[in-house]
Structure 1
């Protein structure tokens, strides 16, 4: 009997510990990376970027039917259980405007800011709820790789569009088209303020894993400049996102962003209030010992939110 991680969302497919024999059956290439750990159980070396990527490939194939997935070396390879939680909690947020029912199908459209080469959020949203997605990124190779993933998997090909943001100062501008509507936006913002800070964070992670030992730090989950750091860090990125969201206030039901540090919340709330939002929600999530959260905001009143749901999902 698998032990449940009850802290993950109830609909999250990754609540049980990784079943490596099953995952290896789905992706035999995972086999060389699995070994018995110090606790006597099967695992991979989470300090090895290739092992982490192979685990992701196995999870995506086994749980989401994605047979063709790959990313370039040194690009962000995110832990899938936590990514899935964000999607499921967003589904619950949409349900609040829809008489408690999670809306499913292509009528529901999301926007992933910072799509990355991995395309993880849209993959999960499409395969779990049948939603459609647009994803944006400032990195041409990330967009090209995400497009290749979509094209190589027929289950995704009519549901995800990948858009290049040519101006790193803009977030929604030039991505959201005039009159285009989104039911939600989501984002995992770069939370470091500089390359040096990102490298320091990498070294801390590897020390915690006991894998540093004087070697050059290599981030186990990878990550490019644009994925890991932004001048001014998370706070400046989210502030810019809030300001940009006000320009398309009537074109989206819920905007949202992950927030890595709870100490950043007061500043974010003030920024949102200054922007004139009608409702703010902070939704906490937990994976292992780590508590994470996202902040969601809407420029629509509760009555307008219900009207939006009626027109978009029940017409």
Structure 2
């Protein structure tokens, strides 16, 4: 038994396909299959049921794969412990980031980070919060950048910054003529929302006291995965959408004419890093935190006013 064989069975479990797993592991499919057969022979069990498509683990195989994931995680930890002891600021940092933060943070973060930390390799994926939490627990991510607290005791949250919400309103709505608005002023049928699964959507539903069963009378409903698309829908079709503060800083002066403040206390969200409590890539994660806080505008990072965190 060796680490390579454990990596192979985990890859097959993730992809449920031998060819895709071999491509992921950068080996030929016959080599991967042969190594897994050798492991099965050594353990005298069948790890995968090859008669089913997609391939699935056997009952004992499921237990072995779970143990393999634990062993691989601990092996990576051993390497990181040694690097940390030697003060080595290098290695791979696998990051998951939610789509409502990524376009306003990543473009400004990546180049300065690479210049300041040339020996850290960033692997960044956009995904919703629920998947980030899952991938952290599986050991497939080192850190997540999220905007809602998980409440999971196995995870540690590292606050980054708080950003308030703004309304982006069409000039054809009554809200356009107001300087400040209340959540109760928003007509649900005028509100453009992100699709299900986004924590930002859930926060807006709480803000506007909407529920999944809310009745929308419009003949056309559209839910997007992109804030930029929602902005354009407001501009072309009327209505209102809600934007986080970093998104507002990216707007042109012409678009900022559509921005309206909420009345005090302003609704807001807290963006934070979330990590597995057992992780030891402390120095790399600290470097990521520094890179983010160096970019975030001072007026956002140093905000002291009272806010309503959703």
- TM-score, structure 1 normalization: 0.27
| Higher normalized helix content (fraction of residues) | 2
Which one has the bigger strand percentage? Answer: 2
Over alpha carbons, which structure has the higher Rg?
2
